């Protein structure tokens, strides 16, 4: 049975698996991506390909976006919002600035539609398995309408109230904690290596006891294995997210000294040509600083 029509705009490492989950859930999915061949596999599975953002959406329907940054989301939304129009719902799963979320929410209200802040935590494999975690904020009516979509792609939903930008602040804070953990792991592993202690045994200990969490388990293994290719989340996008944390810190008069260090780690990695590697590749700097072979 069809769950109805839905548009997914942005078919990258995360948008592709999300669209696939919606196809599996019974939605009639229309996909749009600036690089059209990125959608070929989904079209082969039954999705419809749109030539532009306006063609992707159904008037009064649901649009899901998963785009790289503020500029991309603003540009794509400007193209499809007039076509989405009265009664439409935009579920924005992108990690963007809270200011843009607030601005887009106002523009949607003016068009008679709704904007739902809905950024997600999880890498592409979690998206493909429907195991994302959703930070959610917006109107109760929008949340209720979006619930079947979220149920198809996630295993946990965390409500941050009615202001659409609130979920984006939560997402920025979560990503800041992830990169802080990557840096801490990298420094600890360098200390183990320079002290002739088995870093893998150390990781097994901490990830099963003091730091028994998915971030410490998965990123610790990724760092130890130097498994930075292909990227689950590109390093250059990680720099964008650290920048969002620093911008929000400035806007709220909240010092974030660790975020400044992390920004410099990302800038250094970009200067060394690692922008397309996984964002965990910032860990190589700790080894290099310690005189180890990164």
Residues 13 and 138 in one domain: yes
Cα end-to-end span (Å), the chain: 52
CB of 143 within 8 A of CB of 134? no
From the candidates 171, 221, 234, 240, give the one annotated as an active-site residue.
Answer: 171
Q: What is the pTM of this model?
A: 0.94
Residues 140 and 275 in one domain: no
What DSSP string runs through 31-67? EE-SSGGGGHHHHHTTPEEPSSHHHH--TT-EEEE--
Residue 125 lies in a domain: yes
Residues 106 and 145 in one domain: yes
Residues 20 and 155 in one domain: yes
> 277-287: per-residue pLDDT in tens?
999 999 999 99
Residues 200 and 262 in one domain: yes
Residues 31 and 45 in one domain: yes
The pLDDT of residue 294 is: 58
| 234 is known as an active-site residue | no
CA atoms within 13 Å, Cβ hemisphere of 79: 18
The pLDDT of residue 293 is: 79
Here the CATH number for the domain that contains residue 129 is 3.40.50.720
Here the CATH number for the domain that contains residue 263 is 1.10.1040.10
Residues forming beta bridges with residue 89, ordered by sequence position: 62, 114
- CA 67 – CA 82 distance, rounded (Å): 19
Residues 140 and 187 in one domain: no
Residue 44 lies in a domain: yes
- CA 154 – CA 121 distance, rounded (Å): 9
115, 130, 162: which is the final residue of a domain? 162
Domain limits for position 29: 5-162
The pLDDT of residue 280 is: 98
Residues 21 and 129 in one domain: yes
Residues 114 and 189 in one domain: no
Number of domains in the chain: 2
Residues 137 and 13 in one domain: yes
Residue 294 lies in a domain: no
- CA 244 – CA 159 distance, rounded (Å): 21
In the three-class reduction of DSSP (H, G, I as helix; E, B as strand; rest coil), residue 157 is classed as strand
162, 180, 199: which is the final residue of a domain? 162
- CA 153 – CA 130 distance, rounded (Å): 4
Residues 182 and 145 in one domain: no
162, 193, 211: which is the final residue of a domain? 162
Residues 44 and 144 in one domain: yes
The pLDDT of residue 3 is: 79
CB of 239 within 8 A of CB of 245? no
Which structure tokens are listed for 258?
């660790």
- What is the 8-class DSSP label of residue 210? T
Strand ranges (E), 72-225: 89-92, 114-117, 120-121, 132-136, 154-159
Regions of the chain with pLDDT less than 70: 1-2, 294
């Amino acid at each position: 049975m069809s769950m109805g029509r839905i548009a997914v705009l942005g078919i990258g490492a995360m948008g592709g698996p999300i669209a696939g989950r919606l196809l599996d859930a019974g939605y009639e999915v229309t996909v749009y991506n600036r690089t059209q061949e990125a959608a070929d596999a989904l079209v082969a599975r039954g999705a419809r390909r749109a030539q532009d953002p306006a063609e992707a959406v159904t008037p009064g329907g649901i649009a899901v976006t998963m785009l790289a940054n503020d500029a991309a989301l603003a540009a794509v939304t400007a193209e499809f919002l007039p076509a989405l129009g009265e009664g439409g719902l935009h579920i924005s799963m992108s990690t963007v600035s809270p200011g843009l979320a607030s601005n887009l929410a106002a523009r949607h209200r003016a068009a008679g539609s709704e904007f739902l802040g809905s950024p997600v935590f999880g890498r592409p494999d979690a998206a493909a398995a429907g195991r994302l975690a959703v930070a959610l904020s917006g109107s109760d009516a929008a949340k209720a309408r979006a619930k079947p979509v979220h149920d198809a792609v996630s295993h946990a939903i965390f409500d941050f109230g009615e202001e659409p930008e609130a979920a984006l602040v939560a997402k920025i804070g979560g990503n800041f904690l992830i990169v802080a953990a990557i840096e801490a792991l990298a420094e600890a592993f360098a200390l183990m290596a320079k002290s002739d202690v088995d870093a893998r045994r150390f990781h097994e200990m901490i990830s099963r006891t003091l730091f028994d969490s998915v971030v410490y388990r998965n990123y610790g293994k990724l760092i130890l294995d130097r498994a930075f290719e292909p990227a689950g989340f590109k390093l250059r996008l990680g720099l964008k997210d650290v920048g969002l944390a620093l911008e929000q810190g400035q806007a709220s008069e909240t010092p974030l000294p660790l975020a400044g260090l992390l920004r410099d780690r990302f800038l250094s990695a970009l200067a060394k040509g690692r922008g397309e590697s996984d964002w965990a590749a910032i860990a190589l700097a700790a080894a290099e600083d310690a005189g180890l072979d990164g």
